Amino acid sequence: MSRTSLARIHRSTPHNLQLLARRLRAGEIVAVPTETVYGLAGNAFDAAACAKIFRAKERPQTDPLIVHLHSIRQLPLVCRPNAIALKLARRFWPGPLTLILPKTAAVPDIVSAGKRSVAVRIPRHPVFRRLLKLTGVPLAAPSANPFGYISPTTALHVRDGLGRKIGHILDGGPAGVGLESTILDLRNPRRPRVLRPGAITAEELAAALGTPVAQPRARAGGARADRAQLAPGLLTRHYSPRTPVTLHKKLRGTDDRRHAYLFFCRPEQSEAKSNVFWLDEKGDLRRAAQRLFGTLRKIDAGKFEAIQAELAPGGGLAFAINDRLRRAAAR
């Protein structure tokens, strides 16, 4: 499915939004900005449109998509929400939280990978929200990267990875959060479980609900095998640069010129070195999350033999950053 021309990057003018909404309603796919990462969107009720998403990404059809809504009023179209879901929706939407709920018959099997559940969220990015409103249908969208590679946080990242596979990219600037949404399994409302950590932490979810929220334990090898069935995208080597990554609690030394060194905050050293990188000058967690994927991409383009990366200190958002670093390091 290779094209001769490179995908067009559209500014978010009213005219372009109208044009892209029409394309989406006609069954085409469009890369869109969200506050987490860029997504590759298609009409969630149109199985043929969703099949194009899988083809462009070379994503296995066993890996389900997230359905994006404009308003909470659309929720009953795609799923059967429970009281817990409505409570969290009112508290965290629009925002980087995805809920897994029992699906309705209107959601095609290709979206849910044949499961009886569906992943839904209402995104916060104003440009994507305007497009969702204009399109008028729920939009299924995974991250807009070739399957297994690092998620895109700018329109140019999308074009680098999928430019020859898709026609349209809507530019909404760099993603503000920079990590994919928190995924919370609510199929059993009595036992909410985080399947993928993100900017909204298990602690915040537990505080909002007044009940415990289970969270995957950090593991060097990535996701546990028993979660493979539920969330296949969480099992495989994911978010991975081509350059092998080794993780460190604390990085010491930057002497091997063949290696890139990725610090959490700016290291104390006098001379500038082209193989030394950091996520944030002062180690601010939000800014570090925002810059993680872009920095990994930059390093990956740099022809290093290996990446020596430092884990983020502490819990909360550091947990989500470290989850992505561990996946990047998983072989």
**C-alpha span between 124 and 106 (Å, rounded):** 24
Alpha-helix runs per DSSP H in the chain: 14-25, 47-57, 75-78, 83-92, 109-112, 126-135, 155-162, 202-209, 285-300, 317-329
Beta pairing class for 139-140 and 39-43: antiparallel
Among 95, 142, 172, 178, binds ligand TXA (CB under 6 A): 142
Partner touching 31 among Mg ion, ligand TXA, none, CB below 5 to 8 Å by kind:
none
Of the ranges 3-11, 16-24, 69-77, 138-146, which one interacts with ligand TXA (CB under 6 A)? 138-146
200 binds ligand TXA (CB under 6 A): no
Phi, psi of 289 (to 5 degrees): -60, -45
From the list 85-93, 226-234, 255-263, 281-289, the region that binds ligand TXA by CB under 6 A is 226-234
d(Cα 148, Cα 317) in Å, to the nearest integer? Answer: 22
Question: Do residues 38 and 9 lie in contact, with contact meaning Cβ atoms separated by under 8 Å?
Answer: no
Give the range of 86-94, 113-121, 213-221, 255-263 binding ligand TXA by CB under 6 A.
113-121
Please give the angle made by the CA atoms of 184, 116 and 89, to the nearest 5 degrees: 35
Please report whether residue 180 would count as binding ligand TXA according to CB under 6 A.
yes
Sign of CA dihedral 315, 318, 324, 327: negative
Report, in Å, the least distance between residue 77 CB and ligand TXA: 16
The β-bridge relationship of strands 97-102 and 39-43 is: unpaired
CB of residue 142 vs Mg ion: minimum separation in angstroms? 5
Select the residue interacting with ligand TXA from 74, 117, 308, 322 (CB under 6 A): 117
When binding is defined by CB under 6 A, the residue of 39, 95, 152, 216 that contacts ligand TXA is: 39
**Amino acid occupying residue 29:** I
Does the footprint of ligand TXA cover residue 216 (CB under 6 A)? Answer: no
Cα–Cα distance list, 81 to 100, 120, 185, 215 (Å): 9, 10, 12, 21
Contact between 37 and ligand TXA by CB under 6 A: the answer reads yes
Closest contact distance (angstroms) between CB of 27 and Mg ion is: 22
Segment lying near ligand TXA (by CB under 6 A), choices 8-16, 48-56, 137-145, 199-207:
137-145
- Gap between the Cα atoms of 227 and 115, Å rounded: 14
In the complex with ligand TXA, the residue whose CB is nearer, 30 or 260, is: 30
Residue 208's nearest CA partner among 95, 315, 122, 90 is 90
Count of chain residues binding ligand TXA (CB under 6 A): 26
Please tell me whether residue 20 binds ligand TXA under the rule CB under 6 A.
no
Q: Which of 29, 141, 288, 329 binds ligand TXA (CB under 6 A)?
A: 141
Q: Which residues contact 222 (CB under 8 A, 6 or more apart)?
A: 234, 235, 236, 237, 238, 326, 327, 330
Task: Name the site residues for Mg ion (rule: CB under 5 A).
Answer: 143
Q: Does residue 170 belong to the site contacting ligand TXA (CB under 6 A)?
A: no
Among Mg ion, ligand TXA, none, the one that 291 touches (CB under a kind-dependent 5 to 8 A) is none
Q: In terms of Cα–Cα distance, which of 158, 160, 147, 133 is closest to 31?
A: 158
Specify the residue for token string 């200190």. 313
Q: Which residue is nearest to ligand TXA (CB)?
A: 233
Q: Which is nearer to ligand TXA, 10 or 103 (CB)?
A: 103
Tokens linked to 76: 């009953």
By CB under 6 A, which span of 17-25, 96-104, 288-296, 311-319 interacts with ligand TXA?
A: 96-104
- Residue ranges that bind ligand TXA, judged by CB under 6 A: 34, 36-37, 39, 63-64, 66, 96, 98, 100, 112, 115, 117-119, 141-143, 180-181, 183, 195, 230-231, 233-234
